[in-house]
A and B are shown apart, each in its own frame.
Chain A
Amino acid sequence: MIHSWLPYVLCILLFCVGVYAVLSKKNLIRIILGIVIADYAVNLFLILLCWKKGGEAPILQPGAMEQVMVDPLPQALVLTSIVIGLATTAFLVAIAMRLHERYGTYDITRIRELRG
Chain B
Amino acid sequence: MAGEYIPLLVAVPLAGAFFCALAARKSGVLADTIGTLIVALVLALSIYAVVSPPSTHAVGGWPAPLGILLVMDGLASLMLLVVSLVAFLVMIYSLSYMNAYSGRWQFHTLFLLMLAGMNGVVITGDLFNLFVFLEVASLASYALVAFGTGKHELEAAFKYAVMGSLGSLLLLLGIAFLYGYTGTLNMAHMAERLGELGVAPITVAALVLLLSGFALKAAIVPFHSWLPDAHPSAPAPISAMLSGVLIKSLGVYTIARLVFNVYGASPDLLNLLLVLGAVSMGIGVILALRQWDMKRLLAYHSVSQVGYMILGFGLGSPLGILGGLFHLFNHSIFKSLLFLNSGALEQATGTRNLKEMGGLSGRMPTTSWTTLSASMSISGVPPFSGFWSKLIIVMACVEQGRWFYGAWAILVSVLTLASFLKVTKFAFLGKLGKGFENVREVPWPMRFGMVVLALLCIVGGLMLVPEVKEMVLTPAVRVLDHGILTLGEVVRL
A and B touch in the complex (CB under 8 A): yes
Query: A residues engaging B (CB < 8 A)?
Result: 15, 18-19, 22, 28, 31-32, 35, 38-39, 42, 45-46, 49, 73-74, 77, 80-81, 84, 87-88, 91-92, 95-96, 98-99, 102-103, 111-114, 116
Cβ contact within 8 Å between A95 and B173: no
Q: Report B-chain residues with C-beta under 8 Å of the C-beta of A84.
A: 132, 135, 139, 168
Distance in angstroms between the alpha carbons of A88 and B159 in the assembled complex: 13
Q: Report A-chain residues with C-beta under 8 Å of the C-beta of B165.
A: 35, 39, 88, 92
Q: Report A-chain residues with C-beta under 8 Å of the C-beta of B166.
A: 19, 22, 35, 38
Q: Which residues of chain B from 285 to 322 have any CB-CB distance to chain A below 8 Å in the complex?
A: 290-291, 296
Cβ contact within 8 Å between A91 and B139: yes
In the complex where A49-B179, A113-B155, A116-B291 touch, is A91 in contact with B169 (Cβ < 8 A)?
no
| Residue of chain B at shortest CB distance from A87 | B139
Residue of A42, A73, A77, A92 near B158 (CB, 8 A) is A92
Residue of B162, B169, B180 near A42 (CB, 8 A) is B169
Chain A nearest Cβ from B400, distance in angstroms: 36
Q: Report A-chain residues with C-beta under 8 Å of the C-beta of B155.
A: 99, 103, 111-114
Q: Report A-chain residues with C-beta under 8 Å of the C-beta of B150.
A: 102
Chain A nearest Cβ from B30, distance in angstroms: 26
In the complex where A15-B169, A15-B173, A88-B165 touch, is A49 in contact with B180 (Cβ < 8 A)?
yes
16 contacts between A and B (CB under 8 A): A18-B169, A22-B162, A32-B162, A35-B166, A42-B172, A49-B180, A80-B128, A84-B132, A88-B135, A88-B139, A92-B162, A95-B142, A98-B149, A102-B154, A103-B151, A103-B155
Q: Report B-chain residues with C-beta under 8 Å of the C-beta of A113.
A: 151-152, 155
Query: A88-B161, A113-B155 provided; 14 other pairs, C-beta below 8 A?
Result: A15-B169, A18-B169, A31-B162, A35-B162, A45-B173, A74-B176, A84-B135, A84-B168, A91-B161, A95-B154, A98-B146, A111-B158, A114-B156, A116-B296
